[in-house]
Amino acid sequence: MDRLPPRVALAPRPRGVLGWAVAAQRNVLELIPEAALREPIISGRAGLRWHMVMDPGALRRVLKDRVEDYPKSVVTKLLLEPAIGNSMFIAEGAQWRWQRLAAAPAFAARHVEALAPVMTAAAEASAARIAQAPQPFDAHAEMVAATFDIISDVTFSGGESIDRDVVYRAFNGYIASVAQVSLLDVLGLPRWVPRPGRIFSGRVLRETRALADHAIAERARRGARLPPDLLDLLRAGVDPETGRSMNPSELRDNLLTFLVAGHETTALTLSWALYLCAFDPAVQACAAAEAQAAGPRITAAELPRLSYVQQVVQESLRLYPPAAFFSRTARSADTLCGRRIEPGDTVILPIYALHRHRLLWDNPDAFDPDRFAPGVQRDRFAFLPFGGGPRICIGASFALQEAAIILATLLARFDFALVPGRDPYPRMILTLRPEGGVWLRATPR
């Protein structure tokens, strides 16, 4: 089809200091210059020296070959530490390594597959809600509800209650008022200089941490369950090198990371996938036929028969990656794409631009799930919805299984149509969200 799904209007040229600060508050993706869709690397200065990297070989170097020389950026830590502490998403070096090793068994393939019944039940509950919802409905809000039901059930199957609305409201409030890049971040001022917007974030974050602390204490009192859920697996996790396990505060920080990232990113993927299926009825018809043939109930066992549905998920992640823009701070001198990198430079990985790069993808702004058909070859570091290297998202297989089960369940039962004049706009603060919601009309098949 000739029409293209919504895309961000990128900057015609790199921005100055004030332009960076304004764009970062409005939509982080507006920091990306249009030239990033054609060049392997772009450098500039906006207070700090920065380099945007879109070359797969250079990205492999940053994320895999020399990962220790490119830790999470200072700005990333300033934004996220107040909310998720020194969890494995933020931690570096030995502190990251032991947490990752301790948590890895919880995300082993056998455990992820064992959680599929929870995903199937949540998908069917979502379908029941959509069937009863006034039309049109906001698919993004519904996907948030469905994915939080899953992450809370697989984390707290022991009955400890954690209020979805409280957690989501707390982190939404944090993102809206606090977790935005400030002018002081752009100028590179040290972290001890107060950022005005972040001074008043304490109450909502304390409330959320208290919920997680209570759930952890309840589980310690009651003991582990059989089969174990995510909280049990994390409590039992041990670093095989040192024998160390997570203490309650480390458990809390990682649980909050999984609670938020574990539903937010998948909810966004599904929201954009449903929108794109409504945008292209031919793709939707093909995916729906496959889902109906695999049904009537979609479980992990049906995933091998859902290759096209999984291609739709992958193409949605390409066009609208939830983690569409992240950064590292160079620790040592290096050279990327012939460009000198100095210690302290900010190295930006604009995944949104990488996934739409003119030299890596044909007709990159178009929605085409066939890009991910079996046998299609591409550089591993040209497609990075979950990052890459040793710090690739630990929950990637969980998220992909969850997304395929929910999308197939819904497409098998409903035909989704766009609502004229209600197209979402991609806006990124911490994640790439559909501004205005994803309003669709669902008709039973």
- Residues assigned a catalytic role: 265, 386, 393
Cβ neighbour number for residue 97 with a 10 Å cutoff: 16
Q: Report residue 118 as tokens.
A: 């929870």
Quick one: which of 214, 230, 211 has its CA closest to 102? Answer: 230
Q: Give me the sign of the Cα torsion angle 387, 362, 273, 288.
A: negative
- Cα 246 from Cα 237, distance rounded (Å): 7
Q: Give me the sign of the Cα torsion angle 21, 26, 29, 33.
A: negative
* Angle (CA) 370 54 280, round 5°: 25
By the 8 A CB rule, do 115 and 154 touch? yes
Cβ neighbour number for residue 199 with a 10 Å cutoff: 9
- Cα 58 from Cα 65, distance rounded (Å): 9
- Cα 61 from Cα 381, distance rounded (Å): 10
- Cα 128 from Cα 30, distance rounded (Å): 38
Which H or E run includes 441? strand 439-444
By the 8 A CB rule, do 130 and 142 touch? yes
Q: Tokens 């509950």 identify what position?
A: 125
Query: Is 393 annotated as belonging to a binding site?
Result: yes
Residue 444's SS3 state is strand
- Cα 139 from Cα 86, distance rounded (Å): 33
What backbone phi and psi angles, to 5 degrees, belong to 416?
A: -105, 135
Cα within 13 Å of Cα(234), Cβ side: 27
Annotated binding-site positions for heme: 393
